[in-house]
Structure 1
Amino acid sequence: MRGSRPYPRGVNSDFKRVSEAKYVLLTTFRKDGTPVATPLWAAPDGDKILMWTVTDSYKVKRIRRNPSVTVAACDARGNPKGEPVAAVAEILDAPGTDHARDAIARRYGILGWITMKGSLLRRGKTGTIGLAITAA
């Protein structure tokens, strides 16, 4: 229907579409402004997108320095399927990381559950960290 809102009032519809994608391309920025894109699993959580990654990864280091990121729907290889959306990343604490793991495991079914459990066995609880992405 022309003129109707596909999502509730106040929700950034482009960000919402990205949050519903199977893979999300998270782009962080180096000190010199060079973009670095990484495809990740993601799970929508209200007005946020939850992601999960290795604690000592460079993307986490870049987010600590500059939380401005972009997100876009992509395929498993990181090929974008739409325009990037400006966003802000937050590194989660331990309970937030547990919530992100649970959300991703639920979203990706048995494969997500096996991946989360395997990661916990391999790296322990502190070896991975959750990210919460919100629209800018």
Structure 2
Amino acid sequence: MTTQQLPPAGTLPREDNLLLSTLLNFAQSHHERLADQAADLGLTVPQAKVLYFVESAPTVRKLAVKLRCDASYVTGLVDRLEEQKLMKRQVDPADRRVKMLTLTAAGRRLRGKVIRIMDDAPGLELLTEKEKLLLGELLKKASAN
């Protein structure tokens, strides 16, 4: 009886890369669930992401960096959130060229729901708090380039 030898590290075909496949499946599952739940709230996924990140990135430019997209795209998202009375633009007193993004009361309530949805990825309930922290740290380390 012969034993099967694994190829050297880094030479497996892409579909055989279990770690990457698992990460992609996890992300896809979370995205699909987020799309369904955001739609239930009357939002698209990009709009939900704006609500999720606006506190840490309170300008169009900062949100564009956070979302890894063009600022003009974020402007359109903010326009639609303003039309829904969820967000307002205000002039930054320190630099009148900059518009600060703030949530309305309705926007803050909806953001709370978005946060619960975003932070409740399927499968994470199976992990302990310590495991979640470790996973978060490992993913930060792997993506810090």
TM category, shorter: 0.3 to 0.5
Choose between structure 1 and 2: higher strand proportion.
1
User: TM-score when scaled to structure 2?
Assistant: 0.31
- Largest Rg, 1 or 2: 2
Task: Give me the TM-score of the superposition, normalised by structure 1.
Answer: 0.33
Pick the structure with more helix per residue.
2
